[in-house]
């Protein structure tokens, strides 16, 4: 089955997860059958979705207006009869409770009632896709599709391959996840906990609990360290209180894991977290987990990192996933401040291994046994950033970046500069501001690069603009210095393309405006929303936008601040090319390749004199053009171009 053949999606066994999935599917234009166990629950679920859609419309998310929200809600049919729910479904997404016996019965039923071509996707967070497949006669069409709660907010979807899942099914569900505006990560093997939970529950939550159980540190010391010093969204104990301590407890118990006493005791006392008013912290009268910054000052979190990295290394070793994908999954699914393995490279793989070995020698527990990949990396000297290689190679640019990734394809001579803060929709923070001009300076002198493409990580945004959290307490001069950041693509002597897939807002759009070209996927939305913050664009938006779309349209974008669709932006001339969502990557590459095949000196001069000429009197601009034209006559590339034309062959420009 192809993506565009999917018309109807059935969501089975609703709950908040199922509601969110149904909502996403309806937002993407699908007919949705939402099945729940009785009329009352089905109706409640539907009302809940309507409420959520109205909330999204209030914020203007997903381009929703109240009228459109109503239209989306009407695509959803709540019902109870399972046969009715799946009889014309092309994809069934099952979000039933995590009880294997129940799911196995359900899959037998789904297999009988759904059409032959229908794919059965399970939103399980821990159960075996292979076993679910085995109970059906269509194991090739049974796949994992693990969303994170709440699905309309959390961008990640783990797409999991069971032993028999076909490649066609995997690709289809990857594409479907993208269509639902989520970011899919392929999980190539059906391992317990997949990626995020494997890294999060055992190592992050449970190892912290072991440290506290042994009395090596207190709960608030650990939470404080991880939140305030290591920049995780919250500490491991606060997180368990939020998700429900019993969730991880049962998951690990089922896996046969020994439960750390601090967790065992808390669960036995019936203190399951926020939902019971008490967990590791007490939640009363609005009070929450109120640990101080000072508490974490002296706690060394290496043991927690060591276990997380060991787990991630195991996933790589067993070809479940790659470093890049694991990092993206941890950022999007668990809000990690940066990729776990990038951080491991910064800490030093040797230090990670040492911590594991010391713990193993002391406690003889299996979980401290370092996976062979870590030992091998250390033996080969791949100990991380300082050594020039670790989970990532650091030889490409000589330096590594916190908020960016740089990938250079020497064959096509294209450099991809990736805005890499996916959990924050690639918002521009001080790291990114400092790093981007440096990257452009390096790429400028790199002979392997002829074209630079800027894109966003995570599949939802190019960039949602300046990081608003840095506005509080920021000094005016920091923002005045923004100019260097926004001028980097413009001053660069090589052509720069902004590849917009998703949101390009505020500073994100201004960065794109400073590029030579803006191309966008159809689903993208652009805008200058600074006015809602009592501001105006400060990175060239008021000026470059005016030059591109005319004074009054620019004023409307700046003064009203509403986002516009890619289609409208294309009509305005703000976007040069608009591509189908599915073909976006491919089309961007083709466009960049055309530029990379051109004569570099001529392209550089064209960029420089066209930029400068647009701001100069015509006479001076024409003079610049004539001079540049003359200079090009002295280049080898010009000879190559002319000879190739005469000899009817394709020119190969060398940039000389």
How far is C-alpha 263 from the geometric centre of its chain's CA atoms?
Answer: 31
Active site residue 510: yes
Closest to ligand COA by CB, 33 or 421 = 421
**Residues of span 466-495 touching ligand COA by CB under 6 A:** 466-469
β-partners of residue 185 are 158
Least distance CB 142 / ligand COA (angstroms): 30
Catalytic residue among 94, 175, 338, 510: 510
Q: Tokens for 648, please give them.
A: 């009817």
User: What element of type H or E holds 67?
Assistant: helix 66-74
Name the active-site residue from 230, 530, 562, 615: 530
For residues 318 and 417, what is the distance between their CA atoms, to the nearest angstrom?
30
Residues 285-344, interacting with ligand COA (CB under 6 A): none
- Which of 425/436 has CB closer to ligand COA? 425
* Residue 227 in the binding site for ligand COA (CB under 6 A): no
Q: Please report how close the Cβ of residue 340 comes to ligand COA at its closest, in angstroms.
A: 18
> Tokens 């009352």, residue?
40
| Measured distance CA(235)–CA(281) in Å, rounded | 12
Q: How far is the CB of 367 from ligand COA (least distance, A)?
A: 30
Beta strands per DSSP E along 487-533 = 496-500, 503-505, 517-521, 525-527
Residues 6+ away with beta carbon under 8 Å from 270: 276
Our CB check for ligand COA shows the closer of 140 and 335 to be 335
Strands 517-521 and 525-527: unpaired
Q: Which is nearer to ligand COA, 472 or 646 (CB)?
A: 472
First-last CA distance in the chain: 50
Write down the least CB distance from residue 155 to ligand COA, Å.
8
Residue whose CB is less far from ligand COA, 313 or 498: 498
Number of residues engaging ligand COA in binding (CB under 6 A): 18
Q: Which of residues 592-611 bind ligand COA (CB under 6 A)?
A: none
Instruction: By CB under 6 A, name the one of 424, 494, 518, 523 that touches ligand COA.
Output: 424
Q: Least CB distance from residue 9 to ligand COA, whole Å?
A: 21
Distance of closest approach, residue 533 Cβ to ligand COA, in angstroms: 6
153 lies in the site for ligand COA, by CB under 6 A: yes
464 is a contact residue toward ligand COA (CB under 6 A) = yes
Q: Any alpha helices (H) in 269-322, and if so which ranges?
A: 302-317
Cβ proximity to ligand COA: between 331 and 397 the closer is 331
Please report, as residue ranges, which positions from 490 to 519 form the binding site for ligand COA (by CB under 6 A): 503, 505-507
- Binds ligand COA (CB under 6 A): choice among 273, 465, 489, 599: 465
Residue nearest to ligand COA (CB): 506
Core vs surface per residue 353-379: b (16+ CB within 10 A) or e: bebbbebeeeeeeebbebbebbeebbe
Residue closer to ligand COA, measured from CB, 179 or 494 = 179
CA atoms within 13 A on the CB side of 326: 31
Note if 168 is an active site residue.
no
**Given the complex with ligand COA, which of 307 and 466 has the nearer CB atom?**
466
Among residues 236, 122, 110, which one has the least CA distance to residue 169?
122
Question: What is the SS3 string spanning 345-387?
Answer: HHHCHHHHHHHHHHHHHHHCCHHHCCCHHHHHHHHCCCCECCC
The 524-563 contact track toward ligand COA, x by CB under 6 A, reads -----xx--x------------------------------
Is 427 a binder of ligand COA (CB under 6 A)?
A: yes
Examine residue 61 and tell whether it contacts ligand COA (CB under 6 A).
Answer: yes
Residues 6 or more apart from 361 whose CB is under 8 A from it?
A: none
What CA–CA distances, in Å, run from 274 to 210, 277, 289, 546? 21, 5, 10, 51
Stretch that binds ligand COA, among 267-275, 345-353, 419-427, 442-450 (CB under 6 A): 419-427
CB of 453 to ligand COA, least distance (A): 22
Residue range at the interface with ligand COA (CB under 6 A); choices 79-87, 214-222, 435-443, 458-466 = 458-466
Count the Cβ atoms, other than its own, within 10 Å of residue 466.
28
> Could you tell me where the DSSP H helices lie in 445-578?
476-480, 482-491, 507-513, 541-549, 551-560, 566-572
Contacting residues toward ligand COA, per CB under 6 A: 61, 153, 424-425, 427, 464-469, 503, 505-507, 529-530, 533
- Catalytic residues, which ones? 510, 530
């Amino acid at each position: 089955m192809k993506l565009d053949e999917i018309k109807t999606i059935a969501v089975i066994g609703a709950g908040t997860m199922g509601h969110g999935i149904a909502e996403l599917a309806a937002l993407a234009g699908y007919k949705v059958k939402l099945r729940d166990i009785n009329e009352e629950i089905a109706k409640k679920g539907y009302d809940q979705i309507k409420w959520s859609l109205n909330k999204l419309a209030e914020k203007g998310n997903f381009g929703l207006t109240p009228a459109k929200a109503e239209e989306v809600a009407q695509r959803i049919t709540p019902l109870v009869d399972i046969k009715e729910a799946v009889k014309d479904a092309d994809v069934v997404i099952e979000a039933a409770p995590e009880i294997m016996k129940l799911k196995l019965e359900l899959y037998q039923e789904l297999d009988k009632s759904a059409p032959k071509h229908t794919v059965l996707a399970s939103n399980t967070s821990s159960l075996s896709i292979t076993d679910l497949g085995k109970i059906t006669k269509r194991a090739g069409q049974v796949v994992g599709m693990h969303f994170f709660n709440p699905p309309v907010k959390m961008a990640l979807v783990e797409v999991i391959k069971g032993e028999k899942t076909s490649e066609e099914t995997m690709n289809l569900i990857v594409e479907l996840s993208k269509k639902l505006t989520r970011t899919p990560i392929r999980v190539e093997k059906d391992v317990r906990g997949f990626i995020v939970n494997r890294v999060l529950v055992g190592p992050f939550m449970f190892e912290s609990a072991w440290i506290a159980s042994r009395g090596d540190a207190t709960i608030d010391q650990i939470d404080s360290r991880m939140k305030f010093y290591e920049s995780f969204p919250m500490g491991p104990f606060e997180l368990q209180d939020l998700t429900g301590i019993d969730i991880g407890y049962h998951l690990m118990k089922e896996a046969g894991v020994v439960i750390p006493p601090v967790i065992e005791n808390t669960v036995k006392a019936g203190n399951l977290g926020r939902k019971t008013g008490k967990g590791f912290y007490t939640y009363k009268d609005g009070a929450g987990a109120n640990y101080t910054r000072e508490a974490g000052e002296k706690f060394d979190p290496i043991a927690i990192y060591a276990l997380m990295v060991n787990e991630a290394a195991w996933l790589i070793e067993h070809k479940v996933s790659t470093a890049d994908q694991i990092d993206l999954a941890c950022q999007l699914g668990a809000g990690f401040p940066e990729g776990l393995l990038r951080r491991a490279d910064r800490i030093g793989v040797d230090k990670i291994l040492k911590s594991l070995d010391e713990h193993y020698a002391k406690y003889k527990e299996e979980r401290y046994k370092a996976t062979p990949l870590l030992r091998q990396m250390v033996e080969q000297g791949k100990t991380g950033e300082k050594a020039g290689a670790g989970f990532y190679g650091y030889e490409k640019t000589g330096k590594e970046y916190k908020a960016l990734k740089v990938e250079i394809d020497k064959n096509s001579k294209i450099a991809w500069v990736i805005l890499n803060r996916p959990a924050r929709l690639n918002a521009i923070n001080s790291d990114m501001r400092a790093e981007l001009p440096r990257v452009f300076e390096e790429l400028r002198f790199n002979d392997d690069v002829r074209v630079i493409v800027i894109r966003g990580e995570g599949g939802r945004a190019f960039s949602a603009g300046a990081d608003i959290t840095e506005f509080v307490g920021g000094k005016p001069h920091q923002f005045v210095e923004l100019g260097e950041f926004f001028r980097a693509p413009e001053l660069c002597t090589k052509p720069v393309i902004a590849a917009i897939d998703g949101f390009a807002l505020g500073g994100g759009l201004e960065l794109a405006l400073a590029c030579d070209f803006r191309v966008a996927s159809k689903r993208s939305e652009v805008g200058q929303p600074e006015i809602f913050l009592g501001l105006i664009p400060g990175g060239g938006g008021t000026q470059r936008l005016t030059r591109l779309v005319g004074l009054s349209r620019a004023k409307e974008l700046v003064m009203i601040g509403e986002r516009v669709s890619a289609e409208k932006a294309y009509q305005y001339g703000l976007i040069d090319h608009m591509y189908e969502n599915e073909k976006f990557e491919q089309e961007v590459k083709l466009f960049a390749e055309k530029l990379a095949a051109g004569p570099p000196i001529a392209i550089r001069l064209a960029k420089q004199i066209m930029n400068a000429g647009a701001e100069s009197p015509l006479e001076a601009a024409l003079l610049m053009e004539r001079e540049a034209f003359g200079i090009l006559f002295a280049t080898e590339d010009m000879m190559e171009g002319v000879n190739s034309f005469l000899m009817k062959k394709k020119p190969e420009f060398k940039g000389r």
